[in-house]
Amino acid sequence: ETGVTQSPTHLIKTRGQQVTLRCSSQSGHNTVSWYQQALGQGPQFIFQYYREEENGRGNFPPRFSGLQFPNYSSELNVNALELDDSALYLCASSFDIKQPQHFGDGTRLSIL
């Protein structure tokens, strides 16, 4: 039990649609990172939020965006969905930017 909850667990969308994935962290977890894991690959860093501001971004286009809220929840938004966006999306949070992260169970997104 990591204390990091993601919703929904599964989601099916079609090309061109928009999606919002949610992550709820433990109280006090002021850092959240999002990762994309395509089938058969390691997770790839999308971006990190620290105290509600973006704090670093991986090699993902601007149609991937996020928010972090004062209640330690966060969102990953993806616009103009493409087939290659099909993946497991993981959020990870920690009490502090220097502490190890705890991963949620992920949201599996399928694009048809």
List the one residue from 33, 66, 72, 81 that touches other proteins (CB under 8 A): 33
Q: CA separation (Å) from 98 to 15, 21, 31, 42, 55?
A: 38, 25, 9, 22, 13
94 SS3 class: strand
Q: Which is nearer to other proteins, 42 or 62 (CB)?
A: 42
CB of 16 to other proteins, least distance (A): 27
Residues forming the site for other proteins (CB under 8 A): 31, 33, 35, 41-45, 48, 50, 55-56, 58, 88, 90, 92, 94, 97-98, 100-106
